[in-house]
Amino acid sequence: MRSAAIERAGWAGSEAGRSGSSWTEVRFRTMTFADSGSLFREEAVTARSTTWLRLKPRSPLLIGRLKADSAYLTTLPYIPGRILRGAWAEYRRIQNQLQTLASDARRIQIWNFHPAPAGARYSLPLPLSAWTCKSYPGFRPGGHGVLDSLIPRLAYALLERSNAPPSLPFQTVCDLCKARTTPLGGYYACDPEGRFERIRIPLQFQTKIAMSRRRRAAMEGMLYQVTAIAPHEPLTLIGCMHGPADLIRELREAIARVGIGALTRRGYGEVEVEEAQPPAYPPLQERVERFNRLLRDLWKDLSRLVPANPPPELPAGLYFTVDLLAPGIFREEPLGSPTLVPTLRLAGQVLRPIFWITRPLLVSGWSTAWGLPKPIALAAAPGSSYVFCWEQTNWEALEALEQDGIGERTDEGFGELLICHPFHTEVEPV
């Protein structure tokens, strides 16, 4: 199935938990070339702590996105790390302490803050492979259920690659009403009992009058509408930061004093900052092993539809997915053309995905230091999934990949990922 937006799925040959609310690591890294897709990134030798924070909106939040010249200002459903870094830069500018901002910014990693209902075990963006009934969408019992199609589609594609395609075309329908299925986006949460619910972001709409920069008065006949995240009490946003403890404390103070997002001088962007417990994701090794176990089971089921006798065996290797929680910016080579498909470098090996589901997205931003917009870049949309097959089993390398992110501009929050998204194993409607 394809949604109105462009969905690209493909595959090619391959080459050979975050846990704890606050912990400390010592990392030694020198200047590297094309490390995880970034050019010449240098990090100082320093002790870094990981802190999870929760943001509670106290006024509307307008987290701007790339937009055409129009009379509508819309918001993102989450807070990118670059927005928090911009608030930090504004705080330093007010304090007249911009001299060390560039060097300090390289010492801290600010990931994105995603909506999380109170009491949930964890919340995540739904992968692009999530499908639901077109007639009665949503999780059960309110809807006819949501399932993930990645593992069945991967098994079907691998069978086709083995020159043993199943005798029936791949198609999914609702098991209750036999209606067609359609992709489902947005965020979902898992409660302590393991039940799923879709997160609905409360929005606030306000019409404002445009001002003339020359006359500093209202422009006749010029109105615009602002769509912002409403400050409803149950809504919180949770995310983490890696860096020295003193910089994290300063960043927390900057967020509380300056505010985040656009229109902060008009009452928008006020948040309350507090420490939070990390999301209770299943451990990384457990997620990967369960993914491989389900893939082998579905391979056996689909092999029964193959005319060849005996059916082919599943290619050997450790299968895992890289699932984007934020837009990812990739290049074919360090100085090559932009692409939607990343290349991994793990334990001295180059890995290319054997199957992927992604959509294109244009991203930009505003630089407080420059006072100018940032360049527009092509990115893979959040929820994109890339499947890799690896001949090794190196859990430390996978954990480091999950912590460091992938692609370019990870210091701005791009390329945040999760290895083997937990929802991929929901192959039956839930």
Fold match flag (8-17+282-425 vs 22-120+200-275)? yes
The confidence score (pLDDT) of residue 25 equals 38
H or E segment and range at residue 27: strand 22-27
Class of domain 22-120+200-275: alpha beta
Which stretches does DSSP call E strand in 271-395?
A: 271-275, 318-324, 330-331, 338-339, 344-346, 349-351, 355-358, 360-363, 366-367, 372-373, 377-380, 385-390
Strands of the sheet with 130-133, listed across from one edge: 146-148, 130-133, 181-183
Report d(CA 323, CA 304) in Å as an integer.
Answer: 30
Digitized pLDDT (tens) for each residue of the chain, 430 residues in all? 333 333 334 443 333 344 344 343 333 333 333 333 333 343 433 456 889 999 999 999 999 876 656 778 889 999 999 999 999 989 998 888 888 888 898 899 999 999 999 889 999 999 999 999 999 999 999 999 999 999 999 999 998 888 877 777 888 889 999 999 999 999 999 999 999 999 999 999 988 888 887 888 888 778 888 999 999 888 899 999 999 999 999 999 999 999 999 888 888 999 999 999 999 999 999 999 999 999 999 998 888 888 767 778 888 999 999 999 999 999 988 788 999 999 999 988 999 999 999 999 999 877 766 778 888 899 999 999 999 999 988 999 999 999 999 999 998 899 999 999 999 999 999 9
Q: What are phi and psi of 46, to 5 degrees?
A: -155, 155
**Cβ-contact 49, 248 below 8 angstroms:** yes
The confidence score (pLDDT) of residue 68 equals 59
Report d(CA 293, CA 285) in Å as an integer.
Answer: 12
Q: Where are the domains of the chain?
A: 8-17+282-425, 22-120+200-275
Residue 367 pairs with which residues in a beta bridge?
A: 372
**Cβ-contact 108, 251 below 8 angstroms:** yes
Tokens at 422, concatenated: 């937990």
Q: Which CATH architecture has domain 8-17+282-425?
A: 2-Layer Sandwich (3.30)
Tokens at 160, concatenated: 């086709």
Report d(CA 409, CA 37) in Å as an integer.
Answer: 9
